[in-house]
Structure 1
Amino acid sequence: MKMMVAGLMMAMVTAQAVAVPAKLPQGSELHTALAALGLKVNSVADSVVPGVQQVLTDRGLFFAANNGQFLIEGNIYDLKNKQLVNDSILQGVRKAGVSKLKDSSIEFKAKNEKYVVTVFTDTSCGYCRKLHNEMQSYLDKGITVRYLAFPRGGVQSETYSELQSIWCADDKQQAMNQAKAGRKIAPAQCSNNVAEQYETGQSFGISGTPAIVLPDGSLVPGYQPAEALVATLANLAK
């Protein structure tokens, strides 16, 4: 699906523009093209590139041209304003999305809370385990960590089943501690939204873990030590 030519797209975006909401009528060429790819469309709007629409789907952000004849997966850079267009589009989406799932998260709360971050995690991920092993250093710096599930292997994977067991455990924090330490946890089943958490992460453009969503909806892909993360958060708060 990757059909993005970076140089061409970077050259196209050289002027500031504002995305205008647009409807996606059923039966339109664009709707038909996206449905054929199995994409669930959340919203469509005109992008900063004339003639190109930004399409938010359950599998992330895409750009469409010529009524869906061309589908572009990748980044668009605004060279004039020196910013990644994708981030400005997804920032608000991420902020709203993690807020919606707040009550479903497994929270490790800082005693003297200054910041709250949401971390999409996978128990089989080495850097996720590293981050969790250093949890106290995040808490000591006033960073509350809210976990959401992101089984990298998808909803048919063993990790998905393990994450479900964690979210169904009587003591979710302890279950997370055990899993991140590499210990087996007791299988458990209940009504849960682990699949929704995973799909939400995908819609944010997340493909790996850990993925840290900051309070303003910005995304930090990958592990970041507490000292670096608190500096990022402090700079964000200025």
Structure 2
Amino acid sequence: MKLGHTVKTIAFSLLFVAFTANANEQLDTSKLKQLGVEVLSIKESGMPGVYELSTNQGIVYLSEDGEYLLAGSLYKLTEGGPENKTEQALQSLRKRKVAEHQDEMITYKSSKEKHVITIFTDTTCGYCKRLHNNLGSYLDKGITIQYLAFPRGGLGSQGGRELQQAWCSKDAGEALSSLFNEQSISATTRCENPVGQHYQLGQMLGVTGTPALILPNGRMLAGLRGADAIIAEIEAAQ
């Protein structure tokens, strides 16, 4: 029986891979490319004739003939209520993409670590400053904070320049803390740094403001949240 189950599992996996490859080959995404949309992956949306696309601009939906584009939330109506299929897809995308940028983050590790959250931040954001200046309350509750950059005004803004300075510093964590405390630092912005990539990543993942908190399950919370509220959100999802 175990062998039969294994064979069925392998057969299903091969069928899924074959379908995905076929969808990528046959779906006409040429008009999206003309709009500057880069398609990362394609899969069935659950709606007949419509495909779900992960792109550099988030989750979108495309008709089978490539003529119609849907941008927004897709809901499945179930007996238990509407399910936001777009948010489910975004959570999966956030988890995957955040993991890919793990080595580029500025991290403040809790010695009592129980949870790790990722925050898109901007040094010119008032709520980001309040969050960072209360960093100890998060660390004391076992929450490790890891930052990605999201200069709301773009790379040429004050926030963009300061974030690049922080990531270019020898001690990035100390530099970022100084900037949040409105202390100037002497670091250059002319180094290889990931701030531009982080900014594009945030746009892809649906970030529109800061702070934007990404929980371990990929759910995003917008705005300032206290340590207890964050822990409650994490535990509710487990």
> Corresponding residue for 1:129?
129
| CA displacement at 1:29 relative to structure 2 | 7.2
Aligned to 2:20: 21
CA offsets per residue over residues 161-187 of structure 1, 9 Å max, x none? 221110011111111112212333324
Match of 1:142 in 2: 142
Structure 1 contact 24–31 (Cα < 8 Å) conserved: no
SS of the equivalent of 1:79 reads: strand
Match of 1:235 in 2: 236
- Kindly provide the amino acid, as one letter, of the partner of residue 137 in structure 1: S
Given that 1:162 and 1:187 are in contact with CA atoms closer than 8 Å, whether structure 2 keeps it comes out as: no
The residue aligned with 1:62 is: 60
- Residue 200 in 1 paired to residue 201 in 2? yes
Task: Indicate the residue corresponding to 1:219 in structure 2.
Answer: 220
With 143-152 and 227-236 compared, the bigger mean Cα shift is at 227-236
| Aligned-partner residue type, residue 87 of structure 1 | E
With normalisation by structure 1, the TM-score equals 0.84
Which residue of the partner structure matches residue 8 of structure 1? none
- Determine helix, strand or coil for the equivalent of 1:113: coil
Offset, 1:148: 0.6
- Which residue identity is paired with 2:55? T
Q: Which residue of 2 aligns with 1:48?
A: 46
d(CA) in 2 for partners of 1:29 and 1:53? 9
| Structure 1 residues 21 and 66: alpha-carbon distance in aligned structure 2, compared to 1, 3 A threshold | closer
User: Structure 1 CA distance, aligned partners of 2:217 and 2:146?
Assistant: 15
Matched, 1:77 2:75: yes
1:229 partner amino acid: I
Higher relative CO (Cα under 8 Å, sequence separation at least 6) belongs to: 1
Alpha-carbon shift at residue 159 of structure 1 (Å): 2.1
Residue 173 of structure 1 pairs with residue 180 of structure 2 = no
**Distance of aligned partners of 1:29 and 1:100 in 2 relative to their CA distance in 1, 3 Å threshold:** closer
Pairwise CA RMSD: 2.0
Kindly name which structure, 1 or 2, has the bigger radius of gyration based on alpha carbons: 2
The TM-score with structure 2 as length reference comes to: 0.84
Q: What's 1:12 paired with? A: none
Give the residue type in structure 2 aligned to 1:21: T
Aligned to 1:34: 32
Measured in 1, the distance between the counterparts of 2:64 and 2:41 equals: 17
SS at 2:237 equivalent = helix
Structure 2, gaps ≥5 residues long: 1-15
How far did 1:39 drift?
Answer: 0.9
